Amino acid sequence: MFHYEKKLQFPVKITTPNPKLAAFIISQYGGPDGELGASMRYLSQRYSMPFAEAKGLLTDIGTEELGHMEMVAAIVHQLTRDLSDEEVRANPTFAPYFVDHTTGVYPTAASGFPWTAASIQSTGDVIADLTEDLAAEQKARLTYDNILRLSDDPDVNNVIRFLREREIVHFQRFGECIRLCKEKMDAPNIYLSNPAFDKTQPANTRSRG
Ligand SMILES: [Fe+2]
């Protein structure tokens, strides 16, 4: 279960509306490498992890990503609240989003593709899942880098830099975790068996009769 704290992990206080920027930043809410996907990926993968340390890490990071999702939603909301019709008309980048969602916060990529579970995996294989998680953190960091290239609002950029830092920390923690899991697994077989599933015999040595 979760306990909700009515505050953000890092404060979001945006003074200048900017629907064009919101149309880019929404990607870290519902895009292929965004915070919704990160939280769903880790909170789903945790169940099949055979080691307590990996299960705990995925739960910790998955929960933190829910908090990041909330921060990205707050940025998008604060950049788009109280817009006039004229401001929407003057921002063709935001207008397609506006047509479908007005100024509601909706999980979609900047390209307009709605969030899909097809952008994440949960394989039940320790090495496959943790390797995906390492890549996911780098892709999220890169998306934040791209947002920083497109934004010159310091109120936004302070928050984006905080989120970017957390992706780097998560990458490091997943790196430690994958090393630990390999140590705990039968080293010669780490790429050939999954201790969560192949309880008695690695898949590659099983006779199919
Ligand atoms: Fe992350």
Residue 60 pLDDT:
98
CA distances to 12, 41, 82, 103, 116 from 119, rounded to whole Å, are 27, 9, 33, 25, 6
Distance 74 CA to ligand 1 centre (A): 17
Residue 190 pLDDT:
66
CATH assignment at residue 200 = 1.20.1260.10
Distance 63 CA to ligand 1 centre (A): 10
Residue 122 three-state SS = coil
Which letter, b or e, does each residue of 50-75 get, where b requires 16 or more Cβ atoms within 10 Å of its Cβ?
bbeebeebbbebbebbbbbbbbbbbb
Q: How far is Cα 41 from Cα 120, in angstroms, rounded to an integer?
A: 6
Query: What are the residues whose beta carbons fall under 8 Å from the beta carbon of 161, sequence distance 6 or more?
Result: 144, 148
Distance 159 CA to ligand 1 centre (A): 14
Average pLDDT over residues 168-197: 84
| Residue 13 belongs to a domain | no
The residue assigned the tokens 């099949």 is 48
Q: What is the dihedral of CA 44, 46, 49, 55, to 10 degrees?
A: 180
Distance 148 CA to ligand 1 centre (A): 17
| Residue 118 belongs to a domain | yes
- Could you give the angle at the alpha carbon of 87 between the alpha carbons of 86 and 93, nearest 5°? 120
Q: Is 60 exceeded by the pLDDT of residue 16?
A: yes
Question: Mean pLDDT lowest for which of 2-6, 28-32, 54-58, 200-204?
Answer: 200-204
Average pLDDT over residues 126-152: 97
| Residue 122 belongs to a domain | yes
Residues of the chain with pLDDT > 90: what percent? 85
Residue 113 pLDDT:
97
- Per the structure, the complete domain to which residue 42 belongs is given by 19-205
Q: How far is Cα 38 from Cα 54, in angstroms, rounded to an integer?
A: 16
Distance 59 CA to ligand 1 centre (A): 12
| Residue 137 belongs to a domain | yes
Q: How far is Cα 119 from Cα 108, in angstroms, rounded to an integer?
A: 12
Total domains in the chain come to 1
User: How would you write 12-70 as a 3-class SS string?
Assistant: CCCCCCCHHHHHHHCHHHHCCCCHHHHHHHHHHHHHHCCCHHHHHHHHHHHHHHHHHHH
Q: How far is Cα 100 from Cα 167, in angstroms, rounded to an integer?
A: 30
| Residue 3 belongs to a domain | no
Q: Is 70 exceeded by the pLDDT of residue 206?
A: no
Distance 169 CA to ligand 1 centre (A): 8
pTM over 0.85: yes
| Residue 102 belongs to a domain | yes
| Residue 1 belongs to a domain | no
| Residue 4 belongs to a domain | no
